[in-house]
Chain A
Amino acid sequence: MSEYTYINPKFEKEINEFSKKTLVPELTLNYDIKVRDFVNTGNASADIKLTLKRLGVSSPVLRRVAISSYEAEINITAHSKGGNIICNVYPEFVHIQFKDKGPGLKDIEQAMIPGWSTADDAVREMGFGAGLGLPNIKKNSDYLHIVSAENSPTLVEILIFYIEK
Chain B
Amino acid sequence: MKKNYFHAIKINSNLCDGCTKCIKSCPTKALRVRNGKAEIDENRCIDCGKCVLECPKDAIETFADNLSVINDFKYKVAVIPASFSGQFNEAVNYRRAKKAVLSLGFDEIADESMVTDIMGNFIQDYIRNHENIRPIISSNCPAVVRLIQVRFTDLLPNILHLESPMSIIATYVREKISHEKKINKKDIGVFPIVPCIAQVTAVHQPEGTYQHLHDGAISIREIYRKVMDIYEEVENYDDICSFPDGLKWAIAGLKAEYIAEKDIDVLSVSGIDNVIDILAKIENGQIEKYDFVVMDSCTEGCIGGILNIENPFIAEARLKKIMRNSKHKNKFFNDKYFTKLYKDNFYNVNPLQPRSIMKLDKDIKSSILKMREIRKIKDLLPGYDCGACGAPTCCDLAEDIVEGKASLDDCLILKDKK
- Measured CB to CB, the residues of A under 8 A from B are 26-27, 42, 45-46, 49, 51, 53-57, 59, 62-63, 66-67, 70, 89, 91, 162
Contact = CB atoms under 8 A, between A and B. Distances in A.
Interface of B: 153-154, 280, 283-286, 358-365, 367-368, 371-372, 375
Given A26-B368, A26-B372, A27-B371, A53 B284 contact: no
Lowest 7 A-B CB distances belong to which pairs? A66-B284, A55-B367, A59-B154, A56-B359, A26-B368, A56-B367, A54-B360
A162 B363 CA distance: 12
A26 B153 CA distance: 26
B359 to A, nearest CB: 5
Determine which residue in A26, A55, A70 has the highest number of CB atoms from chain B within 10 A of its CB, and name it.
A55
Given A27-B375, A53-B358, A56-B359, A63 B367 contact: no
B283 to A, nearest CB: 7
B368 A91 contact: yes
Contacts, number: 53
B284 A55 contact: no
Given A55-B360, A55-B371, A91-B364, A63 B154 contact: yes
A141 B372 CA distance: 25
Contacts of A49: 284
B12 to A, nearest CB: 33
Contacts of B359: 53-56
A89 B370 CA distance: 13
Contact of A54 (B153, B367, B372): B367
A53 B359 CA distance: 7
A49 B191 CA distance: 43
Contacts of B372: 26-27
Contacts of B363: 56
Contacts of B360: 54-56
A70 B367 contact: no
Given A67-B285, A70-B284, A55 B368 contact: yes
A66 B281 CA distance: 10
29 contacts: A26-B368, A27-B368, A27-B372, A42-B286, A45-B284, A46-B280, A49-B284, A54-B367, A55-B359, A55-B367, A55-B368, A56-B359, A56-B360, A56-B362, A56-B363, A56-B364, A56-B367, A57-B364, A59-B153, A59-B154, A62-B154, A63-B154, A66-B283, A66-B285, A70-B284, A70-B286, A91-B364, A91-B368, A162-B364
